[in-house]
């Protein structure tokens, strides 16, 4: 763990932590001050109203003494949205934009841009600077609903095109995107929140389909890996814990951005949290995510880790250089009205649209 007397002169620990409630407990506040994690991630349990979220983010910043501490969230749209009505709008799932793009590419790209700008504005207003979206996994019929309508399309080129619009619009409006889940787990048959999935596709299948969107988006600043066993690459370890899979991500796919592990508190992984954190980092992740807000687990992880290394910190500095402050005075009303027109009357079935 970082020495509390030298926190200001050290890089933070390579971990993103969650917290348990809508406000910090005294124990959490004291722990975060000592641990000095890279950043924090918000979940539905942390998001009650705009003013409350802004106050919580202020508390998190004060706890670590860093005004620029990264605040992350999963605000994909559809069923994966931590900000929900009545204080935030209900947005459509990614598959809606893919379905539109497949019918009319110009309208689909415009709708994607409008949506991304609206969401970026919502997050910027709160102080959230990293959104763990877009999902770049393929929509595969018969696969687990863990992905389902979170995927843009079955077609790699469509996924890459829309994820590019989504990500670049985020970057232009103050928010860093995170493409996920390297190297592609649209084929999973079980939900990694509950058990470890296995992808049995051949290396040739993966290279001709699943890998393509990630390779086309390799210049983007942040990515997230997956908790799935890829039998064609490493039949013994989940991707997040596999050096062989990280070699594919960095080598075959050419991604040199900041790589986050998926949440190590998911039930897909078995083992002590501190050991899993060390294994994920040793396998090649720059930063490990631990999201459940369990203080005892976070304390064990913080004790086990050393501050971020120079290479990982350099990737973070590069990521920050890619994002722009949004233009002042933006009002999402016009974008919302246009988006409603584009999406209005769109009938699709996420289980049958290919």
Q: What is the pLDDT of residues 306-350, one digit of tens each?
A: 999 999 999 999 999 999 999 899 999 999 999 999 998 453 333
Average pLDDT over residues 254-275: 97
Examine the residue annotation and report whether 91 is marked as an active-site residue of this protein: no
Over 90: is that where the pLDDT of 73 sits?
yes
> What is the residue-averaged pLDDT of the chain?
94
Task: Give the tokens for residue 50.
Answer: 């705009």
Per cent of the chain over pLDDT 70 is 95
Per cent of the chain over pLDDT 90 is 92
- DSSP for 202-246? -HHHIIIIIHHHHHHTTTSSEEEE-S-EETTT-TTS-GGG-HHHH
Examine the residue annotation and report whether 335 is marked as an active-site residue of this protein: no
Which residues are CB-contacts of 119 (< 8 A; sequence separation ≥ 6)? 75, 77, 91, 131, 170, 175
Average pLDDT over residues 296-304: 98
Average pLDDT over residues 31-60: 98
Angle value at C-alpha 259, between 258 and 264, nearest 5 degrees: 140
- DSSP for 74-121? -EEETTEESS-TTTSPPPPPHHHHHHHHHH-HHHHHHHHHHHHHHHHH
**What pLDDT score was predicted for residue 155?**
98
Which residue of the set 137, 210, 262, 263 is catalytic?
262
**What pLDDT score was predicted for residue 131?**
98
Kindly list the structural domains of the chain, giving each domain's residue range(s) and its CATH number in brackets, ordered by start.
13-58+70-325 (3.20.20.300)
Confidence of residue 300 (pLDDT cuts 50, 70, 90): very high
Least confident interval from 4-8, 70-74, 197-201, 267-271: 4-8
Please state whether the predicted TM-score (pTM) of the whole model is above 0.85. yes
Which residue of the set 3, 104, 193, 194 is catalytic?
193
């Amino acid at each position: 763990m970082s020495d509390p007397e030298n926190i200001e002169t050290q890089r933070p620990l390579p971990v993103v932590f969650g917290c348990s409630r809508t406000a910090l407990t005294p124990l959490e506040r004291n722990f975060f001050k000592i641990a000095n994690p890279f950043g924090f991630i918000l979940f539905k349990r942390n998001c009650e109203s705009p003013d409350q979220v802004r106050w919580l983010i202020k508390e998190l910043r004060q706890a670590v003494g860093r005004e620029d501490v990264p605040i992350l969230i999963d605000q994909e749209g559809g069923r994966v949205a931590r900000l929900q009505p009545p204080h935030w709008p209900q947005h459509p799932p990614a598959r809606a934009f893919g379905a539109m793009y497949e019918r009319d590419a110009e309208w689909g790209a415009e709708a994607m841009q409008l949506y991304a700008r609206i969401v970026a504005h919502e997050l910027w207003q709160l102080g959230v600077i990293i959104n763990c979206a877009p999902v770049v996994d393929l929509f595969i019929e018969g696969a687990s609903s863990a992905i389902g309508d979170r995927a843009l399309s079955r077609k790699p080129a469509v996924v890459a095109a829309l994820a590019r619009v989504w990500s670049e619009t985020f970057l232009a409006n103050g928010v860093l995107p995170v493409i996920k889940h390297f190297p592609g787990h649209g084929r999973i048959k079980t939900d990694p929140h509950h058990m470890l999935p296995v992808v049995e596709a051949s290396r040739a299948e993966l290279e001709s389909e699943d890998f393509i969107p990630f390779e086309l988006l390799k210049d983007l600043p942040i990515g997230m890996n997956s908790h799935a066993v890829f039998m064609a690459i490493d039949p013994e370890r989940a991707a997040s814990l596999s050096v062989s899979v990280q070699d594919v991500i960095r080598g075959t796919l050419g991604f040199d951005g900041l790589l986050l592990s998926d949440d190590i508190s998911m039930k897909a992984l078995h083992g002590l949290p501190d050991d899993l954190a060390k294994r994920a980092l040793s396998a090649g992740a720059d930063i490990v995510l631990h999201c459940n807000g369990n203080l005892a687990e976070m304390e064990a992880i913080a004790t086990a880790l050393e501050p971020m290394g120079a290479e990982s910190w350099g990737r973070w500095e590069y990521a920050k250089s890619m994002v722009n402050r949004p233009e002042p005075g933006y009002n999402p009303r016009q974008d919302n009205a246009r988006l409603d027109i584009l999406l209005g009357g769109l009938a699709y079935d996420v289980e049958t649209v290919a």
